[in-house]
Amino acid sequence: KQEVTQIPAALSVPEGENLVLNCSFTDSAIYNLQWFRQDPGKGLTSLLLIQSSQREQTSGRLNASLDKSSGRSTLYIAASQPGDSATYLCAVRPRSGGYQKVTFGTGTKLQVIP
């Protein structure tokens, strides 16, 4: 059974700092991995999708990497802003055995202090 863990659970940084969020998964047989942000009481906003054949994806100040063999993905946020404050979730889609059954991580709650 796929387990997805995100460390740290919470992170507080001053505005302008670069930061890295981590996502670990136990089963490397994945189809893709998607990063989301979730604002309090709101839905999930898609940030980046990395296919299993890719090593990284970039969108603006965000860069996500994927190392399937080690079961890890990182989300790099450059020059953080207060508006980046949210909970960040990673979600893994398995390659087999029910590849609609996406497994979500525990989330990292980010606070960017002005």
Interaction site with another protein (CB under 8 A)? 31-32, 34, 36, 41-46, 49, 51, 89, 91, 93, 98-107
Whether 23 contacts 72, CB under 8 Å? yes
C-beta closer to another protein: residue 65 or 87: 87
- From the CB of 68, what's the least distance to another protein, in Å? 15
Task: Find out whether 108 and 11 touch, Cβ atoms under 8 Å.
Answer: yes
Nearer to another protein, 5 or 74 (CB): 5
* 97: Cβ contacts below 8 Å, ≥ 6 apart: none
Tell me the closest approach of the beta carbon of residue 44 to another protein, in angstroms. Answer: 4
Under 8 Å CB-to-CB from 60, ≥6 apart: which residues?
A: none
| Least Å from the CB of residue 36 to another protein | 8
